[in-house]
């Protein structure tokens, strides 16, 4: 039996979480240098020390015979998913909690307060069925309430809540929340990189796309689900 996740050190828990995300996204394990950079451990010897502790704890296997010879053999998230699946079979399906950190404008970009999301209270947490997160760790997600109808043809209406995965990259055609740095403005649009500029495309028959310099456009998250209160 692997050691309880909560009994690992904070560094070791961070390493396990990073390895799980990295393998999920890339299909292969990270290097020791990748792990050090992602978990703020400047010394490769310290990374090695903690990896050996994770081997002893039953979370990681190591091989010196192959490149990237790390394997995550126990995942707390997968263990939790299995426990939740068991609860569901027993009629005890759990909900996940996601912070609603403010509003996002689905129209022309509008300036928002600089302190958005800095004061999250219990009332700002929303409960969602786990399926709405599409397997993504709840700690990597947040919610925003939509103002405006520029994404109406994408089934996103004024007052809806969009659930996003926090990330700073996106694929062409993803629906994203973007921060326009120079003007301190935010908007919800489809994302299309076009050379040195970005086309932010609304989903509304009478609205034109917005073009911005790529250096002025910071992605804050990708929409993964939409919640509507009828």
- Active-site amino acid positions: 150, 189
* CB of 16 closer than 8 Å to CB of 54: yes
Residues 6+ apart with CB under 8 A from 53: 8, 9, 12
CA distance 230 to 227: 10
Write b or e for each residue in 112-122: b if 16 or more Cβ atoms lie within 10 A of its Cβ, otherwise e: beeeeeeeeee
CA distance 149 to 156: 7
Tokens representing residue 162 in the block: 């969009």
CA 49-50-56 angle, to 5 degrees, is 95
DSSP 30: P
* CB of 78 closer than 8 Å to CB of 64: no
Q: Report the chain's terminal Cα–Cα distance, integer Å.
A: 46
């Amino acid at each position: 039996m692997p050691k309880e996740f909560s009994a690992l050190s904070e560094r070791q828990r961070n390493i396990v979480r990073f390895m799980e995300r990295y393998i999920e996204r890339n299909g292969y394990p990270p290097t020791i240098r990748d792990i050090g950079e992602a978990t703020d451990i400047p010394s490769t010897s310290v990374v090695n020390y903690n990896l050996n502790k994770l081997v002893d704890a039953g979370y990681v296997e190591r091989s010196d015979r192959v490149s990237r010879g790390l394997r995550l053999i126990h995942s707390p998230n997968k263990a939790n998913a299995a426990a939740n699946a068991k609860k569901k079979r027993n009629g005890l399906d759990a909900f996940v909690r996601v912070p609603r950190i403010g509003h996002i404008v689905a129209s022309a970009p509008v300036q928002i307060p600089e302190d958005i999301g800095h004061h999250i209270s219990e009332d700002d947490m929303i409960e969602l069925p786990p399926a709405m997160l599409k397997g993504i760790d709840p700690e990597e997600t947040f919610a925003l309430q939509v103002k405006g109808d520029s994404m109406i043809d994408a089934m996103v209406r004024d007052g809806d809540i969009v659930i996003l995965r926090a990330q700073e990259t996106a694929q062409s055609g993803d629906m994203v929340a973007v921060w326009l740095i120079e003007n301190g403005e935010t908007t919800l649009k489809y994302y299309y990189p076009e050379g040195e500029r970005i086309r932010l495309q609304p989903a509304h028959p009478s609205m034109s796309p917005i073009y911005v310099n790529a250096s002025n456009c910071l992605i804050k998250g990708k929409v993964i689900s939409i919640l509507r209160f009828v």
